[in-house]
Structure 1
Amino acid sequence: MAILVDKDTRIIVQGITGGQGTFHAGAMLKYGTKIVAGVTPGKSGEQIHGIPVFDSVREAKNAQDATASIIFVPAAFAGDAALEAIAADLDPIVLITEHVPVKDEIRLIAEAKRKGITVIGPNTPGIITPGARQKVGIMPGHVFTAGEVGLMSRSGTLTYEIAAGMTNAGIGISTA
């Protein structure tokens, strides 16, 4: 199983000034995730948790040498947010938002495939690499311990339950 985020991954949080973006950026920072920028149009110059906010993904990438993105924006805007991250060649892109219109999903996945970019989501809990202390998502980091087993599931809650069971059994996870 491929490791999609590691100690060198530099994250942009799209939608960082919204409630979910702010909350989960804080939780990711607490876990150890290397968040280098936030993006919310019209909010350039602000800071959230000490993270500089930019108006566009391209501006954030260029200023902070970002490599990946996580998206916390409403469903109606999530497709365009993902396309902006794809256009900036960020990889991977983690799209947390649920209820993204199907036409937007089709369009963004087609563009990501064309450019060879990995998109996780929409409607995903994200990616975690415990050994690198990188959590790009909303999962509870404390149930994951570092190890050699990859974990993949369609259900966030079942992923957490399996991870907790593996941790309790002394089995570590490389990525989930």
Structure 2
Amino acid sequence: MSILVDKSTRLLVQGITGKEGTFHTQQMKAYGTNIVAGVTPGKGGTLHEETTPIFNTVADAVKNTEANASVIYVPPPFAADAIMEATDAGVSLIVCITEGIPTVDMVKAFHYVNAHGSRLIGHNCPGVISPGKCKIGIMPGHIHKEGRVGVISRSGTLTYEAVHQLTNLGLGQSTCVGIGGDPIIGTLYVDLLEMFQADLGQTAPPGRRMGHAGAIISGGKGTAAEKMKMMTEAGIHVVSSPADIGITVQATLQK
């Protein structure tokens, strides 16, 4: 069981020759991800580390390799254009790791992707992994275990914490998705919950400005207590501490 990515995923890396692109391409390959192409304008016709063909455009890469997914490690000023270029090339899944993309650029990219039928994960996210099948992004592969629990999170580090607990309890994951914590992101919880069900925990002190839109409290609305109450009333198992995620999932699955 998995969503979004699996062994049939053919990945291209936009920004493959940069420092981040090079490092994480190595890590994804080591995990077993099928990386079929890289894209860096002006470097087409060469090989990245003597193995991966580089193309000048995403369209050329897709035409020559049948890539069906893209991961973006492009600097913020150019990342939105990279997203839209992948969309134009017909890439079905686009995972944007880049942090700090101007909001106005992301609004444009968000509407463009939705209008053309591609699926965008991110930006400013750790990516997507289906353990034992495919890893796209920057998450540590070794903490994951193949199984049947789906994980969705806006926070990269809390994703890793939840996964680590689950794995230590012998609870493998089908797919783990970091959707990103910025105000404008391509895919929301509800989009992924249509594919699988996940539990999540969160806290946010009233009156404190947090680092992402998922923790906004305004006019007494959106407090941790209010969110937990609403989810509990909806039949969702809620934990008061991230440390309880693993054992709560384990207990729920045993019912």
TM-score, normalised via structure 1 length: 0.97
Map residues 14-33 of structure 1 onto 2, 5 A cutoff. 14-33=14-33
Q: Distance in 2 between matches of 1:111 and 1:71?
A: 16
The residue that corresponds to 1:76 in the other structure is 77
Highest CA radius of gyration, 1 or 2? 2
Looking at structure 2, the residues matched to 124 and 14 of structure 1 have their Cα atoms a distance apart, in angstroms, of 15
Stretches of structure 2 lacking an aligned partner (at least 5 in a row): 177-255
Deviations 1:133-170 (A, max 9, x none): x0000000000000001001111111111111100000
Paired residue type of 1:72: Y
Shift in alpha-carbon separation, 1:2–1:109, aligned structure 2, 3 A = farther
Stretches of structure 1 that go unaligned for 5 or more consecutive residues are none
The CA distance in 1 between the partners of 2:19 and 2:154, in whole Å, is 25
Q: Distance in 1 between matches of 2:28 and 2:80?
A: 23
Query: Match of 2:214?
Result: none
Summarize the Cα distance change of 1:58–1:104 in structure 2 as closer, same or farther, 3 Å threshold: same
Fraction of identical pairs, as percent? 51
1:131 is displaced (CA, Å) by 3.5
Deviations 1:62-93 (A, max 9, x none): 01010010000100000000000010110210
Instruction: Give me the whole-angstrom Cα distance separating, in 1, the residues matched to 2:116 and 2:11.
Output: 19
Number of corresponding residues: 175
CA distance in 2, matches of 1:150, 1:7: 17
Q: Output the aligned Cα RMSD.
A: 1.1
Runs of 4+ residues deviating >3 angstroms: none
- Tell me which residue corresponds to 1:86: 87
1:15 to partner: Cα distance: 0.2
Query: 2:100 maps to what in 1?
Result: 99
CA deviation map 1:87-121 (0-9, x unaligned): 01102100000010111111111011112211001
Secondary structure of 2:139 counterpart: coil
SS of 1:152's partner is strand
What corresponds to 1:9 in structure 2?
9
TM-superposed deviation, 1:2: 6.5
Kindly indicate whether the alpha-carbon contact (under 8 Å) linking 2:97 and 2:124 is maintained by their aligned counterparts in 1.
Answer: yes
Give the distance between the partners of 1:150 and 1:39, measured in 2 at CA: 31
Corresponding residue for 1:46? 46
Normalised by the length of structure 2, the TM-score is 0.67
